[in-house]
Amino acid sequence: MDDSPFLKLCRARRSVRRFADRPVEREKIELCLEAARRAPSADNLQPWRFIVFDEPEKKTKLAEAVFNGVYAASKKFAAAPVLVCLVIKENLLVSKVAGVVQGTQWQLVDAGIGGEHFVLAAAEQGLGTCWIGWYDGRALLKHLGLRGKGYRAVALIAVGYPTDDASTTERPRKNLGEIAFWNSPPR
Ligand SMILES: Cc1cc2nc3c(=O)[nH]c(=O)nc-3n(C[C@H](O)[C@H](O)[C@H](O)COP(=O)(O)O)c2cc1C
């Protein structure tokens, strides 16, 4: 299969966990946010909210709040020049109806799509990112003052320029035959 520029980008992207001590230009983050803004969402509700921390002091306080206790393994992400909090503003009617009728949390799906638009736009600009699921979501909402206001924490995204020695090893992927099926379901 010939690589299109987009497929090349998908192939080259890696989760980056070690970042150069170099600030990230706001314009680059803004481009990522614009890519996220363009993402599709169920009923076009656009439930995602991206709260960007690039001021070192505020970012450190955020990291101290959310990478505690059992989440201490994620403390390394405090060194990322930018931490993005991805939360959703829940639409209670939609989440209740779809949750009860279908059992699917579409707003979480939406957040995943928006977040990955952000991540791929970052990769295109030479930035490294890592999705962070291992953090204290309750502490995050409390820290942001969003508890009890209809928000739900989804993930954090660490952003920065990769160090020269940041691992570029490709994590294994399942073969296409294991994940894609034409005209018949998986056996
Ligand atoms: C929703 C989500 C949560 C993740 N949480 C973490 C995390 O907490 N810590 C971490 O080091 N990597 C985390 N990752 C990164 C994955 O480990 C990584 O994407 C996977 O191993 C594939 O490697 P690659 O991204 O380099 O292709 C997460 C990825 C996703 C999509």
Lowest mean per-residue pLDDT among 23-27, 37-41, 162-166: 162-166
What percent of the chain is modeled with pLDDT above 70?
98
Go through the domains of the chain in sequence order and give each one's CATH number. 15-162 (3.40.109.10)
Centre of ligand 1 from the C-alpha of residue 161, in Å: 17
**What region does 148 belong to: left with phi over 0, alpha with psi -120 to 50, or beta?**
left
Fill in the amino acid letter for 113: I
Residue with tokens 């035959």: 177
Average pLDDT, rounded, for the chain: 95
Read off the pLDDT of each residue in 1-16 and give the average, rounded to a whole number: 93
Using a cut of 0.75, tell me whether the model's pTM lies above it: yes
User: How close is the Cα of 118 to the center of ligand 1, in Å?
Assistant: 15
What is the reported pLDDT for 97? 82
Check if 131 has its Cβ closer than 6 Å to any atom of ligand 1.
yes
Please work out whether the CB of residue 156 comes within 6 Å of at least one atom of ligand 1. Answer: no
Please report, to the nearest 10 degrees, the dihedral formed by the alpha carbons of residues 77, 160, 25, 120 taken in order: -120
CA–CA gap between residue 34 and residue 121 (Å, rounded): 9
Ligand 1 center–CA 172 separation, angstroms: 13
Whole-number Å distance, alpha carbon 93 to ligand 1 midpoint, is 31
**Average pLDDT rounded to a whole number, residues 102-108:** 91
- Report which protein residue has its CA nearest ligand 1's atom 15: 131
Q: What is the mean pLDDT of residues 128-154?
A: 98
Please report the pLDDT score of residue 98 as a whole number.
82
Indicate if ligand 1 lies below 6 Å from the C-beta of 130.
Answer: yes
pLDDT tens digits, one per residue of 44-70? 999 999 999 999 999 999 999 999 999
Is residue 10 predicted with pLDDT exceeding 90? yes
Per-residue pLDDT tens over the stretch 63-79: 999 999 999 999 999 99
Distance 129 CA to ligand 1 centre (A): 10
Q: 9, 23, 18, 38: which is closest to 115 by C-alpha?
A: 38
